[in-house]
Amino acid sequence: MNHISRSNFPPILLGLAMIAAATGCATSSKSSVQGAESGAAEARPTDGQPLGRAMRLFEDALAAFEEQKSLKVYDWGLLEKKFQAALTADDQFAEAHYNLGVVYERMRRPEDAKRAYQRALQIKPYLKEAAENLAIVLQAEGRTADALALIQEILRMYPEDGAARARLASLYQAVGDHKQAMHYAREALMRDPKNLTAYKVMMNCYLDRENLDMARLVAMRATKLNASDPELYYTMGLIQERQDDQAGAIYQYLRALELRDDFLRARVRIAQIATKHADWSTAATHYQKIVQYDSGNQEARLNLGIAYKGLGEIDKAMAEYDAILQTPTPIALAYFAMGVLFQAHKDLPDKALEYYKQFVAKSPSTVPANHAVFERIRECEQAIREAAELKAAEERAAREAEIQRQREEEQRRIEEANKLAAEKAQEEAEKAERQKAAQELLDGKTAEDGEAPADSAEESAPTPEGEAQGGGEEASAADEASSQETAAAEAAPDEPADEPVAADEPSDEPAEL
């Protein structure tokens, strides 16, 4: 599909004179005035209040636009509501339909813009600004033949119109027909020497042909006509890139962005240069802006995810890829990019494999055999097999470890039981030994008590039972002593005494009383 490369969106028609607003108008003021003089811009005659009310609402919308333009801050949603209000009052207001189409283009709603331009042409077939813009929308859809037919119809109605020739030249340049593009660009400049679109066509034709010096010369001439057109600086940036002056190119792209923050082609080039040099922070900054202005730009989201990945912000990268995959028709590369994250950063080869297979299945054309996805698929499959084998080995090891643990536990219980039994036996032996020692001590004491003298026995303090027992022992001892004395007396022979036994003699001393 061939796309019209468009630096500036079409102008808002100011009032019924259709003077283009200074927002980078593709047509010159002269051609607009010619259209007004031909009656193309006049509102349809009507009677009654509705048209008057519609006119007041239309003028209110234009005033809001002029105020926003002076502040360089646009609220396109507000302008949409204001022009819609004018159309509610009078749906036959062709200029309001055209301006609404311009607003839709700025809001990046090409289908709505196309319907608005078509409605404006239904009401006023000679509203050439609507035809030119509709031709660009059709060209962006790849309908080049329809776009050319529209412009040629304008030339039929306005054979001397320079703006229409410049737009026709732009269409030919977009499809690569530089000969026809240069022809109509020159014709446009002959009729309108200050037609900026014609200069842009010539500039881009020279650039496409690698005639960089001529491209630069034409661009510089164009800046003298309009120094506030960002496409001129963008093109000079492209020229400097071709001359390997990336710093100079970035400078020109930044100048374009100073003039219009939503000039996304300049942001894309800066981001691409930054990506080439792994300047992920700069790349992320510009891709964020692109997504902010064009949320449906899947390529920008994909590249923003790549920049986040370069910054190590993996979850943010996955969020951008997921946002793409949630759309009805996601680009296939988002599947591949998501697979890379799961494989390389989340260590989930099974999930990565799913995304790789979807990338192959959903690619718009056959994926080349040497594409990196196939090597990654093999790596994931190998990793999955190895993981399965490792898991099986770990499970076997776990079972064996459990068996060994149970054996060790059983052995520990046996050893513990044996230890307790040995300790108990030792305690029993020690107890028996103590009892034996105590008994021996008691027996020794008893023996010693049996050989002790009587007076020793008497000196002891016997208990009542001891006294009884002691009394018996003393009686036995006395009997035994008496027996021994009797035996000794019987054994001794009768001998006379050496000395006579003296008889009791009376005492000379009187007894004391």
pLDDT tens, residue by residue, 337-355: 999 999 999 999 999 999 9
Over residues 309-331, mean pLDDT: 97
Residue 140 pLDDT: 87
Rg (CA), the chain: 60
- Is pLDDT above 80 for 336? yes
- Is pLDDT above 90 for 487? no
Residue 290 pLDDT: 97
pLDDT tens, residue by residue, 3-15: 333 434 555 655 4
Residue 456 pLDDT: 45
pLDDT tens, residue by residue, 161-178: 999 999 999 999 988 999
Over residues 287-309, mean pLDDT: 96
Over residues 64-74, mean pLDDT: 89
43 pLDDT tier (thresholds 50, 70, 90)? very low
pLDDT tens, residue by residue, 108-147: 899 999 999 999 999 999 898 999 899 989 988 889 899 9
Which has more confidence, 73 or 321?
321
Over residues 389-411, mean pLDDT: 93
Exposure class string for 90-120: b at 16+ Cβ within 10 A, else e? bebbbbbbbbbbbbbbbbbbbebbbbbbebb
Residue 142 pLDDT: 87
Question: How many residues can be counted in the chain?
Answer: 513
Amino acid at 160: E
- Is pLDDT above 60 for 229? yes
Phi-psi region of 462 (alpha: psi -120 to 50; beta: other; left: phi over 0): beta
Bridge partners for 332 per DSSP: none
Residue 217 pLDDT: 95
Residue 481 pLDDT: 53
Quote the CA–CA distance of 199 and 415 in Å, as a whole number: 101
- Is pLDDT above 50 for 34? no
- Percentage of the chain beyond pLDDT 90 is 67
pTM over 0.75: no
Quote the CA–CA distance of 423 and 410 in Å, as a whole number: 20
Which has more confidence, 495 or 107?
107
- Considering the chain, what is the average pLDDT of its residues? 82
- Nearest residue to 137 via CA among 3, 264, 296, 262: 3
Residue 302 pLDDT: 97
pLDDT tens, residue by residue, 177-226: 999 999 999 999 999 999 999 999 999 999 999 999 999 999 999 999 99
- Is pLDDT above 90 for 495? no
483 pLDDT tier (thresholds 50, 70, 90)? low
DSSP for 75-101 reads -HHHHHHHHHHHHHH-TT-HHHHHHHH
